[in-house]
Each structure stands twice: as structure tokens, then as C-alpha cells.
Amino acid sequence: MGENQTSVTEFFLVGFPLDPRIQMLLCRLFSLFYAFTLLGNGVILGLISLDPRLHTPMYFFLSHLATVDMAYACNTVPQMLVNLLNPAKPISFAGCVTQTFLFLTFAHTECLLLVAMSYDRYVAICHPLRYSAIMSWRVCITLSVISWLLGVLLALVHLVLLLLLPFCGPQIVNHFFCEIVAVLKLACADTHINEIVVLAGAVSVLVGPFSTIVMSYFRILRAILRIQSREGRQKAFSTCSSHLCVVGLFYGTAIIMYVGPPYGNPEEQKKYLLLFHSLFNPILNPLIYSLRNKEVKAALKRMLAKERTL
């Protein structure tokens, strides 16, 4: 990042230009959500690590999802809170591109983890007798490692292309964090290749995996409808409903932001969708898995009962 590439050393994030009193109120509200995000996902991680009954492939992937959600929040929310308290405080160029890289890494990784979780549910319901053989710990670890590695590599492609661009002004990023499309608009060169790569990456990481998940759940639904007992069908539906809710929240907002056609004021709409994606999704995921999952609720009750006896 020499002077021949860029003369910009810092950026200013627009965030949410509102009345200072409203900004202070939002700062307190978002701080509360941030704390609940870390607490909720931390509880999920603690339950999975401490309760032997949750040492299964499904909860192994859930622990990785909780880790990604915490990382999501830690990457974007603190800078947003700083910006609400002091809108004039800049973010360094290096800090900005680092934030972009980490956000893309966690986004790609979560996409692939959700595919791995859907495959786990597919095997559990459609091939229950072979589940232990197919979803061995070696397979689970391999799928999680691949998800993280591909997430890093795909984000690295965007980072390299971004660093090749010259930035000579302006310095105003119309976002609450260094989102890649918002940063590309500040480059002093043609960003056509970068935009094509962003769109191609969004299609490959969003549309492809989402189509795979839809196909797997179509087969799961057919298998569930063939189950004779009502209790068996309810149990099968309950094991999938939490994952389906998370998939709908994540892919729904992400596809609208990066693949859907623009309408109205796309920049502002994308900003608020990403706020939901970065702040509310991570806090909703542990709530969905705890409220709709009997095993997680039972593990939480056992842990609380153990604390009372100490």
C-alpha cells in the first residue's frame, strides 16, 4: 500500500446521520444487543462444550456457527458504536480493508457452514441407519475446515483486488462499516473487474449453496412425509425447523443485498439490511436454537441445576 497506489490514509464512515440524541439512544440500544449477542452465542458454545449429550455433528456445526456470529458482531458493531458516539472519528485505511476482509471471511464461512448443517440433517433423516458411518468426526472436521479455508481464500481474492486500486479521495464511506461495495466507490480507477468478482462471488456463495439447501430439504420433506407415526414426523420437523429459520434469515437478507435487483434507494436499503444482518441475525440465531430445540433447553436446565447444587 505504497504512495504510488493510494494517497488516502483514513476513511470517514457516514453511518446513520441522525440527531445526536437519537444517535446516543441507538448507541445504548445497539450496545445492549451486542452484549446479548456475545452472551447468547457464548452460552451456546459453553453448553455444547460442557454437555456430553451435545457432542454430536449437529451441535459441532452449531458451535462453529456461534463462533462466526460472535466474530461477525465483534468485527462490525464496535466501530459502529464508535461512529455513533463520535461521527468525526476516522478509521485508518489498513483498519478499513482489514474490516472488509474479515466481514467477507465470516460471511463466506457462514454460507458454507449452513450447507454442511443441511447435509447433516439430510443424512440424519434420509439415511438414519448410516448416519454414524457417514457423519463421522473426521467428515465433520473436514467439512468445517473446508468452510473456514474457502471463506478465507474467497475473501483474500477480494482483498487483493481491492488493494490494487488507487484511492486518492474522497474519503467518505456511505456505510456504518467498510463494506466492500461502498469502499469500491471511492477508488480513483475503473472498478468494473472488482464489481464483476463481487457479483460472481455472491452468486457462487449465495445462490449455489442456497439451491443445494433447498434441494436437500425437498428430499428431507419427502422422507418426513413417509414416516408413519405422528411423533416421528414431529421429531423430524423439530430437528430441521431451527436450521430452516436461520437459513431463511441469513440467505434472505444476503441475496436481496448482493444478488437481487436494485430498487428505490439501494444504498440506504442495503445499509439497513446489513445492519439487520450484522447485528440482529447473530442475536436471533442462539434464540432460535434455544427456544425451538428441546436438547439445548434440557442442557441449559441441567447446567443451571448443577450451578444451584454447588
Over residues 188-209, mean pLDDT: 89
Radius of gyration of the chain (CA): 21
DSSP collapsed to 3 states, 190-251: CCHHHHHHHHHHHHHHHHHHHHHHHHHHHHHHHHHHCCCCHHHHHHHHHHHHHHHHHHHHHH
User: What is the rounded average pLDDT for all residues in the chain?
Assistant: 86
Give the pLDDT score at 207: 86
Q: What is the value of pTM for the model shown?
A: 0.88
Tell me the CATH number for domain 10-308. Answer: 1.20.1070.10
CB 238 within 8 A of CB 292: yes
CB 148 within 8 A of CB 65: no
Q: What is the per-residue pLDDT across 60-100, written as a single tens digit (0 to 9) for each? A: 999 999 999 999 899 999 999 988 888 888 899 999 999 99
pLDDT at 56 over 80: yes
d(CA 1, CA 9): 10
pLDDT-based confidence at residue 245 (cuts at 50, 70, 90): confident
Domain boundaries of the chain, sorted by first residue? 10-308
